[in-house]
Chain A
Amino acid sequence: MHAYIKGSAWLSPSGFKTLTNRDQAASSPFITEESIQNIHLPKLPRVPDVAKACCAVVSQVLLEAGLTVPFAVRSEESERTALVVGNNDSSVRPIEALQSEAEIYGPNRVSPAIFPNTVYNALAGYIAIHVNIKGTNTTLSGATSTVPAALLYGLRLLAKGRHDRVVVCHVHLLPSAKKATRQDEEEGSFPPDEERITALLLERPGVGTHGKYALDWELTKANGLYTALSPDVTPRMDVELIKLIQEERLAEQEVMLGRFQNGDLLKLRFNNGDVDGLKEAHSR
């Protein structure tokens, strides 16, 4: 059960994070219109900023893989590419906006543009339209285990053979801009975590060219004592993986662990594209 990683991208409040700028602190923890102002995007009328940012991130990983964006109409690439979005909080601000409009104009005069964005999978819908992904399109929410859940879901899609590529996108938004602003005023600092949108393009070996990076995965069942005995997990697997790729540190084998709410562990092994090496390690 292997996959190549053909593209990766990490958007922060200050724009795309690269090897050179990723440790610089952002002036705000929120992804806004300014976060994507330097990114070339075709006009996306009536699309919320967060959705535009998601479209930019996914476009970036597809372009990095040498693919043409958007995928051609009714092409095999379009139908055999899947999209998995991990998303816990994207509905909160649109719900607040809906409530706010209803308070001002009354419940019968709310803008019809707001409601679709209160639905968790709206972001996945915008991305699919933007890059023309017509394969399985799944949004899932798993609190702290959303990142491993999305990765596992995507890797399984590849293993089942119905898809050649899967884009795994993680959207981490702070629940409410209002709350964070109040917190800033009280504490004089922004919350410790800033918003991020990350994406990884996973590809089934044999589909395209040899990948520069490869990964292998296995799921370990919890033994009932996981809280006390299980090993440390990687809290932000998506970010840590992108950092490894940016640093080209995958010459040696790296291992990451993600934990699910029931204690099960997702073990990911990465290396420099040597699938046979991963198979050997897996069999050991």
Chain B
Amino acid sequence: MERIVITGMGVVTSIGGNTHEFWHNLLAGTQGTREITSFDVSEHTVKRGCEVNRVFPYSEAMYEGVGKATAMYLSAAEDALYQARLTQREQARVGICVGTTMGEPGSVRKDSDRQGPHVIADLVADLLRLSGPRWTMTNACAAGNFAIAQAMDELRSGNADCMIAGGVDALSWTAFTGFGSLRAMSDDWCRPFDVNRKGLMLGEGAGVLILERERDARARGAIPLAYLLGYGLTCDAYHITQPDPAAVGAMRAMLEALRMAELTLEDIGYVSAHGTGTPANDRTEAKALADLFGEHMLTSSIKGHIGHTLGAASAIEAVASVNMLRYGWLPHTLNLEQLDPECRVRVIARQPLRKKTNYILSNAYAFGGINSSIVLGKAGS
């Protein structure tokens, strides 16, 4: 099977508008939490989130009239294309996969011709003049992993030479009010895996990877940053918002991803956790990791830094994971002071951990009982 390489990356988050700034602030323990300004929260109990203050465009004109979600995805995609050194001519043979929960929030209007979640992929493809396949995956908080998986399939099937794959979500009044109605949000900080956690913190952002077949990338002189080796997608069929506490579906997703990657459990050195900071998610994921790998498995969540960015989360975590493979640092879980005793795994806390690993598994879960896992490998592994 043809190996897929990552040759470019881009992110927009509350702690950094590009990959370098994001990675630096991730290891420095910077938090993106602040009072929401995108919409009126004066009547909401929770008033904080991880908001992106500004998107830095390459060309102001290109961003005119586009919504925030599209702008964030476009900015991340432009950074990623630049890093991948793809020329305008080569971009014509590129496809796009966008994973999103809410789409472009402002576009859900009765009088809009361009409504629906697909507008992000359409606009970005049009603006970047992409003629490859376009996909919009709407698998909620796991949508980024679904987009990455779909891009992998497009490349392996030969339907595209290169894919822009990632996830995006902008903070929206709907999601903010909705998660509030579920009493799932923390009013101060997000503390994944902490015994005193209060819930998730909503965030916004985008994460984008440039994926290519290894042979094509090397032929044009691109430098692989990492390998995308496999994915697993399963469903709990248990509850519309809660994970199955037995964690069978989560384990199946990880095993499927490992099988596709032709790796064993022992090969994985670290798991990038979904780690939302809700008791149900943290405990289920910890159980899945402990039951599958054993209690020694290293993991952490970056949602204490950037909040839960919904459809963007797993794509941003993929970008972070690639840097972990490249630089040999594993970020710590911010705000974790006392590990929930029901989470029987080694959660990195207080400071980043220096550890080189060849393979990382990254998880994302979503409403609808969705489980997704991807496996990333160090370039040259």
Given A108-B43, A141-B117, A262-B125, the answer on whether A121 and B181 have CB atoms closer than 8 Å is no
A128 and B43 in contact, given A92-B108, A264-B133 (Cβ under 8 angstroms): no
Find out whether the CB atom of A138 lies under 8 angstroms from the CB atom of B159.
no
Those of A121-143 within 8 Å (CB) of chain B:
121-122, 124-126, 128-129, 132-143
* Contact mask for chain A residues 72-116; partner B; CB cutoff 8 A; 1 contact, 0 none: 001000110001000111011001001100100011101110111
**A176 x B110 contact (CB < 8 A):** yes
A134, B236: Cα distance in complex, Å: 6
Is A162 positioned at the interface, with any CB of B under 8 Å from its CB?
Answer: yes
Residues of A at under 8 Å CB distance from B? 74, 78-79, 83, 87-89, 91-92, 95, 98-99, 102, 106-108, 110-112, 114-116, 118-122, 124-126, 128-129, 132-143, 149, 153, 156, 160, 162, 175-176, 178-179, 219, 221-222, 224, 260-264
B351 close to chain A: CB less than 8 A: no
Partner of A119, one of B44, B133, B249, B367: B367
A262–B177 CB distance below 8 A: no
**Alpha-carbon distance A108/B366, docked complex (angstroms):** 23
Contacting residue for A262 out of B134, B182, B233, CB 8 A: B134
User: Which stretch of B22-30, B237-245, B298-306 is in the interface?
Assistant: B237-245
Nearest B residue (CB) for A106: B43
Q: Return 13 A-B CB contacts under 8 Å, by A number.
A: A119-B140, A121-B368, A124-B368, A128-B235, A134-B235, A138-B139, A141-B117, A142-B134, A156-B157, A175-B115, A221-B159, A260-B133, A262-B133
Interface residues on chain B, number (Cβ under 8 Å) = 59
CA distance A36 to B368 in the complex (A): 23
Could you tell me the distance in whole angstroms from the C-beta of B320 to the nearest C-beta in chain A? 24
Are B140 and A137 in contact, with the CB atoms below 8 A? no
Known A107-B180, A139-B139, A262-B134; contact A128-B368, beta-carbon cutoff 8 A: yes
Contacts of A125 in B (CB 8 A): 235, 240, 367-370
Q: Which residues on the B side are within 8 Å of A116 (C-beta)?
A: 178, 240-241, 367
Contact B252 A79 (CB under 8 A): yes
With a cutoff of 8 Å between Cβ atoms, the chain B residues found around residue A260 in the complex are 133-134
**Shortest Cβ gap from A99 to chain B (Å):** 8
B14 within 8 A of A: no
A108-B43, A138-B139 known; A129 vs B134 contact (CB < 8 Å): no
Report whether over half of chain B's contact residues are helix, strand or loop; otherwise say mixed. loop
The 9 closest A-B pairs by CB, nearest first: A125-B368, A115-B178, A120-B138, A137-B235, A128-B237, A110-B181, A136-B233, A176-B110, A179-B110
| Total of A-B residue pairs, C-beta within 8 Å | 174
Best-buried of A122, A134, A162, A219 by chain B (most CB within 10 Å): A134
Q: Which residues of A contact B111 (CB under 8 A)?
A: 179
Q: Is the CB of B369 within 8 A of A128?
A: yes
State how many angstroms separate the Cβ of B119 from the closest Cβ of chain A.
8
Contact with A along B129-163 (1 / 0, CB 8 A): 01111111111100000100010010001010000
Residue of A nearest to B368 (CB): A125
Determine if B235 and A83 form an interchain contact, defined as CB atoms under 8 angstroms apart.
yes
Among residues of A, the one whose C-beta sits closest to the C-beta of B126 is A261
Q: Indicate whether B256 reaches chain A with its CB closer than 8 angstroms.
A: yes
CB nearest to B310 among chain A residues:
A119
B332 within 8 A of A: no
The CB with the most chain A CB atoms within 10 A, among B122, B130, B136, is that of B136
Please tell me if the beta carbons of B368 and A137 are within 8 angstroms of each other in the complex. yes
Q: Which residues of chain A are near B44, meaning CB under 8 Å? A: 107-108
Measured CB to CB, the closest approach of chain B to A103, in angstroms, equals 11
B178, A98: Cβ atoms closer than 8 Å: yes
Question: Which residues from chain A contact B177 at a C-beta distance below 8 Å?
Answer: 98, 102, 107, 110, 115
B207 proximity list for chain A (CB < 8 A): none
Q: How far is the CA of A102 from the CA of B45 in the complex (A)?
A: 13
Asked whether A219 lies within 8 Å of B256 as measured between CB atoms, the reply is no
Q: Say whether B136 contacts A98, CB under 8 Å.
A: no
Docked complex Cα distance between A106 and B181 (Å):
11
Interface residues of B (CB under 8 A from A): 43-45, 95, 101-103, 108, 110-111, 115-118, 122, 125, 130-140, 146, 150, 153, 157, 159, 174-175, 177-183, 233-241, 248-249, 252, 256, 366-370
- Residues A114 and B181 in contact in the complex (CB < 8 Å), given A120-B117, A125-B240, A264-B133: yes
Distance, CA A91 to CA B133, complexed state (A) = 25
User: What residues of B have a CB within 8 angstroms of the CB of A114 in the complex?
Assistant: 178, 181
Add 20 more A-B contacts to A92-B115, A179-B110 (CB < 8 A).
A79-B252, A98-B178, A106-B43, A111-B181, A115-B174, A115-B181, A118-B102, A124-B368, A125-B367, A129-B369, A132-B237, A133-B235, A136-B235, A138-B137, A139-B139, A139-B368, A142-B135, A156-B153, A162-B256, A262-B134
CB-nearest residue of chain B to A73: B237
Q: Chain B residues near A112 (CB, 8 Å)?
A: 181-183
Q: How many Å lie between the Cα of A133 and that of B182 in the bound state? A: 26
Is there contact, CB below 8 Å, between B368 and A122? yes
Inside 8 A of B159's CB, which chain A residues have their CB?
Answer: 219, 221, 264
B366 touches A121 (CB 8 A): yes
Residues of chain A lying within 8 A (CB to CB) of residue B367: 116, 119, 121-122, 125
B118 touches A88 (CB 8 A): yes
CB contacts (< 8 Å) of A102 on chain B: these are 177
CA distance A116 to B241 in the complex (A): 7
User: Which residue of the partner chain B has the closest CB to A110?
Assistant: B181
CB contacts (< 8 Å) of A115 on chain B: these are: 174, 177-179, 181-182
Q: Are B140 and A120 in contact (CB under 8 A)?
A: yes
CB-CB < 8 A to A141: which residues of B?
103, 116-118, 136, 138
- Chain B residues lying within 8 Å of A138, measured Cβ to Cβ, are 137, 139, 146, 233
Contact across chains for A137 and B116 when beta carbons are under 8 A apart: no
Chain B hits for A132, CB < 8 A: 237
Would A139 and B240 count as touching, CB distance under 8 A? no
Chain B residues, CB < 8 A from A156: 153, 157
Chain B residues with CB under 8 A of A83: 235
**How far apart are B165's CB and chain A's nearest CB, in angstroms?**
14
Specify which chain B residues have a CB less than 8 angstroms from the CB of A119 in the assembled complex: 101, 140, 367-368
